[in-house]
Amino acid sequence: MRLRRPGRLRTLAALMGAAAVLAAGCSAPEEVVVVIVTTPGAAQSQVTVPASSEPSAQPTSPTTQSSLSLAKAIRIASSPKFESKDVGPKEPFTVTVFAGTIKDIAVATSDGVPVEGGLDEKKVTWTAKERLEYGTKYVVKGTAVASDGSTKPIAGSIATVNPSSTVRASFQRPIANGETVGVAAPIILTFFESIQDKAEAQRALKVTTDKGEIAGSWGWLQDEDVQGNGQKYSFAHFRPKDYWPANTNVHVEANLRGVDYGNAWGREDIAADFKVGRSQVVKAEISSKRLIVIRDGSVVENYPVSYGKEAEPGRNTVSGVHVVTEKYPEFKMCNPEFGYCNIPEKWAVRINNNGEFIHHNAEVEKAGLLGVANVSHGCINMGGADAQEYYRSALYGDPVEVTGTGVPMTEADAIYDWKYSWADWKKLSRLNS
């Protein structure tokens, strides 16, 4: 007679009970999961089965548990971070949802002015489409939603810096007035204080043309005390690699509002549209005693002239690419070093700020020295009819290429942008890296 093993029988009974449950489960509307755990020699085997199918007897459903966990998994971040203070208005403002998407979002100033923005294709990041204002609080409200439909509120705010003062900037005339200029005219942007972070300012500058992209670069020239009152200004110039293409429409903009200069903030955005006219390049080789005008690639004039007297220091016409900046029907010349002042000369075209002009000189013309000898005090002297004709043809920004003297142009001779090779000019940019 064999003895029974109670543990084995209890296990068998449990299996039979489980089979009954499985059989009953075949007619249930939903799949059930049964986990059977047996322990040989244990007092009782454990069987895990679903609870009663009655609604009142059901535990928290898997769907409800999933909803709670997905909602809690949503994370919301902004750049700049919510509650940030003294934010720069030019900083991009974004709100991003992780482990979910943005159902709705509204961004507005604290007094209710909405901020235009947009969602990306995946609806996880909202980005402001407009720059922020100084001294303003921005409030964000919205809803993030998980994949199961559970939601989480989006809420936060940031505040922008409120500077006590800002720095004004402007483009130099005649470009600021939209006039037609010569092919060597640089774009000159003046900051009415000395700014520290010139690289950040340069990132806000943009030049476009109707001829497509043109090789060119911004260069920062030396800060100067223009007014002589101890207040230095900063200057950024843009020049092409070579001269501008003739008959080109140019647009320049400086989106400076909200730019952090390190020691100050940008006041406003400015822009200008101007036209580069015909190409007129003057060739002025000292030893030739001639002034050759090349217009749109063809020689149109070949004038007899007199350049500075090289035998006497201080009377040379300096070598380099000069740029026409002003012209006067009559201008009073003054050079105390050589004993004259307030001498009226007609048809005066300024090509340098060191006193060099192209102008009529009646005495030199009367003496028959034009095309014969260089006797001026640095200016380019012409006959009356020739000077008037050239005067009428000259535009701000026309290049006058002086060669053949032993005195090169320096930083003291404005506009001196073209004294630099292209490689050296690019070194004046603050965005070379």
- Return d(Cα 128, Cα 82) in angstroms, integer: 15
What DSSP line would sit under 383-422, residue for residue? -HHHHHHHHHH--TT-EEEEES-S-B--TTSSS-GGGS-H
Domain 169-276 adopts which CATH fold? Immunoglobulin-like (2.60.40)
Dihedral (Cα; 237, 240, 243, 246), 10-degree rounding: -100
pLDDT of 339 reads 75
| Whether the predicted pLDDT of 416 surpasses 50 | yes
pLDDT of 68 reads 57
Phi and psi at 304, nearest 5°, equal: -75, 135
- DSSP three-state, residue 190: strand
Q: Which residues are catalytic?
A: 359, 379
Question: What's the Cα-to-Cα distance from 234 to each of 47, 194, 226, 261, rounded to whole Å?
Answer: 84, 5, 10, 11
Domain 280-419 adopts which CATH fold? L,D-transpeptidase catalytic domain-like (2.40.440)
| Whether the predicted pLDDT of 291 surpasses 50 | yes
Tell me what the mean pLDDT of segment 294-312 comes to.
95
Sheet bearing 340-350, strands edge to edge? 326-335, 340-350, 357-360, 380-382
Tell me what the mean pLDDT of segment 265-288 comes to.
98
Lowest mean pLDDT among 128-137, 307-316, 383-392: 307-316
Higher pLDDT, 321 or 26: 321
| Whether the predicted pLDDT of 52 surpasses 90 | no
Q: Please, are residues 293 and 378 in contact by the beta-carbon 8 Å criterion?
A: no
* Average pLDDT of the chain, as a whole number: 87
pLDDT digits (tens, 9 = 90+) for 59-82: 444 444 444 579 899 999 999 999
The reply to whether 169-276 and 280-419 are identical in fold is no
Tell me what the mean pLDDT of segment 177-186 comes to.
97
Secondary element (H or E) of residue 343:
strand 340-350
What CATH number belongs to 70-159? 2.60.40.3780
pLDDT of 84 reads 98
Residue 200: Cβ within 10 Å count: 19
Domain ranges within the chain, ordered by starting residue = 70-159, 169-276, 280-419
| Whether the predicted pLDDT of 31 surpasses 50 | no
What lies within 8 Å, CB to CB, of 119 at 6+ separation is 102, 105, 125, 126
Higher pLDDT, 54 or 313: 313
